[in-house]
Amino acid sequence: MNETMKGYVYRLKPTKKQTYLINQTFGCVRKMWNLLLLERKSIYDTSFGTFTRYLEYKAKDLGKTLIKIDQYYPSTKTCSQCGEE
């Protein structure tokens, strides 16, 4: 069965009033997006902090050492045996 996919392109030519309303609407949507993104980031940061505290607790409980490194530390380029890059 040979299926042909079709696409349509529409050009919108809004009036000045419609352009104003579109910009106002997208401005509100963008503001809400940024607020919700900020809220999710704070939830993530809080959850990650709780996770690291739990890891510290478990490591201490097992007599192990937890080493925190910077997020930009090139750990994938460092040899796990000798520590050489």
- In total, how many domains does the chain have? 1
Give dist(CA 54, CA 26) in Å, integer. 42
Tell whether the model's pLDDT for residue 1 goes beyond 70.
no
Domain that includes residue 26, residue range: 16-68
Tell whether the model's pLDDT for residue 78 goes beyond 80.
no
Residue 3, pLDDT score: 80
Tell whether the model's pLDDT for residue 54 goes beyond 80.
yes
Does residue 28 lie in a domain region?
Answer: yes
Residue 18, pLDDT score: 93
Does residue 57 lie in a domain region?
Answer: yes
Does residue 61 lie in a domain region?
Answer: yes
Provide the token pair at 83.
Answer: 């520590």
For the chain, the average pLDDT equals: 85
Burial class (CB in 10 A: 0-12, 13-18, 19+), 56: middle
Closest CA to 55 of 43, 45, 67: 67
Does residue 3 lie in a domain region?
Answer: no
Does residue 46 lie in a domain region?
Answer: yes
Does residue 20 lie in a domain region?
Answer: yes
